[in-house]
Amino acid sequence: MKYWWPRFIVRPRVRLSRPRFGMPTRPPDTVIFAVVFIAIVFILGGNIYTLIKTPPAIAGNPSGGAPLLVIPVVDQQLGLEGIVASVVVVMGSIGLGLIYYSSKYVFQPGTATRLMILGMLFAGAAFLVFTYLFALKTS
């Protein structure tokens, strides 16, 4: 087959396809985990109660008028109590996560031991803070 152009001009053999623009079918697993984790921490901290029933911003001690951080009544909650409870839940979750993560360092016992001790400290501190807050609530 003869072409009408000279032989020193070479016709390129390129196949162009249409670019595909589309949304991913599903968000990444890390994003899903982060959203679910934040929602669970929000619920466990008692923040839904704080949103529904608007508590006083600062409660005063009846004897001296000093501000209270924890209302010693079980059926009421300050906004700060929910935030503190959420932070303590996150701290305990990080501790349990570190204990789990230390199992990946089976062949590095020093690293595994450090991670496990740090995780136990975080989880233990979270337990002690929750126990202290509960004792303040029920006193």
For the chain, the average pLDDT equals 85
| Averaged pLDDT, 84-91 | 92
3-state helix, strand, coil in the chain (%, to 5): 55, 5, 40
pLDDT at 115: 96
- What's the pTM? 0.72
Is 80 exceeded by the pLDDT of residue 125?
yes
Give residue 76's domain range. 44-138
* Lowest-pLDDT choice from 12-21, 80-89, 106-115: 12-21
90, 123 Cβ separation under 8 angstroms: no
DSSP label at residue 70 = S
Residue 102 lies in a domain: yes
106-123: average pLDDT: 96
Residue 66: what pLDDT? 73
Instruction: Give per-residue pLDDT as tens, 60-77.
Output: 666 766 777 777 878 888
Confidence (pLDDT) at 107: 94
Q: pLDDT higher for 46 or 121? A: 121
Tally the domains of the chain: 1
Q: Is 15 within a domain? A: no
The pLDDT tens digits of the residues spanning 2-27 come to: 556 667 777 778 888 888 887 778 88
Residue 21 maps to a domain? no
Q: Rounded CA gap, 118 and 120, in Å?
A: 5
Mean pLDDT of 115-123: 97
Q: Does a structural domain hold residue 105?
A: yes
Rounded-to-10 torsion of CA 123, 44, 88, 109: 30
**7 assigned to some structural domain:** no
Residue 3 within any structural domain of the chain? no
